[in-house]
Amino acid sequence: MKVTPWEVEGKIDYDRLIKEFGTKPITSKILKRIEKHTGELHYLLRRGIFFCHRDLDWLLDKYENGESFYLYTGRGPSGYTHLGHLIPWILTKWLQDKFDAELWFQLTDDEKFLFNQKLDIEDAKKYAYENALDIIALGFKRGKTFIFTDTDYSGELYPQAIKVAKKITFSTAKAVFGFKNESNIGQIFFTSMQSVPAFLPSVKKGKNIPCLIPLAIDQDPHFRVARDVLPKLGFYKPAIIHSKFMPSLSEGGKMSASDPQSCIFTTDTPGEVERKIWNAFTGGRGSLKEQKEKGGNPDICPIYQYYYFLFEQDDKKLKEIYNSCRSGNRTCGECKRELIDRINSFLKKHQERREKAKKVLDKFILKS
């Protein structure tokens, strides 16, 4: 298993990640505290898809003492958005609605340029604005949602990033991110840019504001560094909640934009969705007869995981899918057909909203 901000490989052991990263599991006690304020629990929390945290209990203490928080999340724009990227954003949107929180959304075009030898900065920028359409299409609130690319908002970010950079030594960056002598110097500096939105609203408003960062667990190392540095600059450490990865359509691993067959993009056509799902790995048996006799294995099946992560949000109905797979009453053909229809109906609406987002993009984007 390898989990870094730039590489995720192998079978992910989330319990081991909690130990290795030093995060805390999201317990039923914390979920009850959230539910007290939200009136219900989002399925991504109920199902443990968001599974661990840093200082979420501290954030709730602050909130209960009258200090409201803002949200910060981001995306490294190396390509079009795929369904796995939407998972942290869907919970972020719910949190924005429930807590009436501002959202600061960072698109790290500089990072993708610095870390990906094949990507030039114009392409990273183009993808950033493509990704911004998906963010807006999810329904984040205008006036409370601020989206920016690092290069277009650098006038605000850079003066703060250098304050962070001054507190991080090369040996810390090497230890956390594994840099070598051959690493380019932009890579070594980059984590300072990713730290800035964790305190920029506090700078702008002239007072400390708690920050909650929903993200996929692979991004945690950046914020381990940020959490160490921010108190030295007089700011709160950001609280974080971490999600699991939506799996690849092939066997094992997370979805990756660099392997287009392993994932569904929000821009895919119905035909592309159909082809990718029909070609996907399943937990089914070698023949229909065997499937009916012995049942399938949803635990290793990415098709089941698609229902689990996004396409069946009703727990009772999800259990029915699981049980009917196990008992052999459900064939993989039926299961895939139903999923194709659900994905295509989701994407049809999403793509319509994405088109409309083009007209209001400038209302969400910050530039300096």
Which residues are near ligand SF4 by CB under 6 A?
282-284, 296, 298, 301, 303-304, 325, 330, 332, 335-336
Which is nearer to ligand SF4, 164 or 303 (by Cβ)?
303
Least distance from ligand SF4 to the Cβ atom of residue 272, Å: 19
Separation CA 38–CA 99 (nearest Å): 8
What 3 state SS string does the chain have?
Answer: CEECCCCEECCCCHHHHHHHHCCEECCHHHHHHHHHHHCCCCHHHHCCCEEEEECHHHHHHHHHCCCCCEEEEEECCCCCCEHHHHHHHHHHHHHHHHHCCCEEEEECHHHHHHHCCCCCHHHHHHHHHHHHHHHHHCCCCCCCEEEEECCCCHHHHHHHHHHHHCCCCHHHHHHHHCCCCCCCHHHHHHHHHHHHHHCHHHHHHCCCCCEEEEEEHHHHHHHHHHHHHHHHHCCCCCEEEEECCCECCCCCCECCCCCHHHCCECCCCHHHHHHHHHCCCCCCCCCHHHHHHHCCCHHHCHHHHHHHHHHCCCHHHHHHHHHHHHHCCCCHHHHHHHHHHHHHHHHHHHHHHHHHHHHHHHHHECCC
Least distance from ligand SF4 to the Cβ atom of residue 257, Å: 24
Which is nearer to ligand SF4, 172 or 297 (by Cβ)?
297
Q: Are 127 and 79 in contact (CB under 8 A)?
A: yes
Q: Which neighbouring-strand residues pair with 107?
A: 75, 149
Amino acid at 28: S
Least distance from ligand SF4 to the Cβ atom of residue 14, Å: 21
Least distance from ligand SF4 to the Cβ atom of residue 324, Å: 8
Separation CA 44–CA 49 (nearest Å): 5
Pairing of strands 211-216, 239-243: parallel
Which is nearer to ligand SF4, 220 or 312 (by Cβ)?
312
Which is nearer to ligand SF4, 216 or 325 (by Cβ)?
325
Which is nearer to ligand SF4, 147 or 280 (by Cβ)?
280
Least distance from ligand SF4 to the Cβ atom of residue 278, Å: 11
Which is nearer to ligand SF4, 41 or 300 (by Cβ)?
300
Which is nearer to ligand SF4, 294 or 349 (by Cβ)?
294
Least distance from ligand SF4 to the Cβ atom of residue 325, Å: 3
Which is nearer to ligand SF4, 59 or 332 (by Cβ)?
332
Least distance from ligand SF4 to the Cβ atom of residue 9, Å: 23
Q: How many residues does the chain have?
A: 368
Least distance from ligand SF4 to the Cβ atom of residue 82, Å: 20
Least distance from ligand SF4 to the Cβ atom of residue 305, Å: 9
Contacts of 272 (CB under 8 A, 6+ apart): 264, 265
Least distance from ligand SF4 to the Cβ atom of residue 271, Å: 20
Q: Which neighbouring-strand residues pair with 3?
A: 8
Which is nearer to ligand SF4, 85 or 336 (by Cβ)?
336
Amino acid at 116: N
Which is nearer to ligand SF4, 215 or 335 (by Cβ)?
335
